[in-house]
Amino acid sequence: MTTLPLSTRPASLAGDDPWWKGAVVYQIYPRSFADGNGDGIGDLRGIIDRIDHLVRLGIDVVWLSPVYASPQDDNGYDISDYFAVHPAFGTLDDLDELIAVLHHHGIRLVMDLVVNHTSDEHAWFQESRSSLDNPKRDWYIWRDPRDGGAPNNWG
């Protein structure tokens, strides 16, 4: 079996074009990619442990699905804390290590960052709904329900 050097810059990132025009992007859904601590749930350690595999694939970018703190009602897209990693995926130190190892191998990281909504467990949401005159009240769109029913169809 032939192996590639693990610290070369991918050829597709050379030249004058913006890096993303020729990049090979590999999306990772952490929960199912690789379990690094044996608890049955994929995590950041599992990704770190398989960086050599990603390097051999010749990818330029890892697109990482959300690993932020979340109640996981929407597979991590319902973020409850933008400054924390969900405990099932690891720690901020694990995320820092992942970034460092990827960069060592010339691989960029694109984080799937959801900024158009939060979890209903996020502190901003909780504060926004706490009163009609809260300073964060207009951070979310609030509507009265029609005909006494639910305010939306998400029931």
pLDDT tier at 51, thresholds 50, 70, 90: very high
Distance CA 68, CA 85 (A): 4
Per-residue model confidence as pLDDT tens digits over 74-96: 888 888 888 999 999 999 999 99
By CB atoms closer than 10 A (0-12, 13-18, 19+), residue 61 is buried
**Percent over 70 (pLDDT), the chain:** 87
User: What is the number of other CB atoms lying within 10 angstroms of the CB of residue 32?
Assistant: 11
CATH number of 22-118: 3.30.750.90
Tell me the pTM: 0.76
Q: Which residues contact 134 (CB under 8 A, 6 or more apart)?
A: 127, 128
Residue ranges per structural domain of the chain: 22-118, 122-155
- Summarize the confidence of residues 58-81 as an average pLDDT: 91
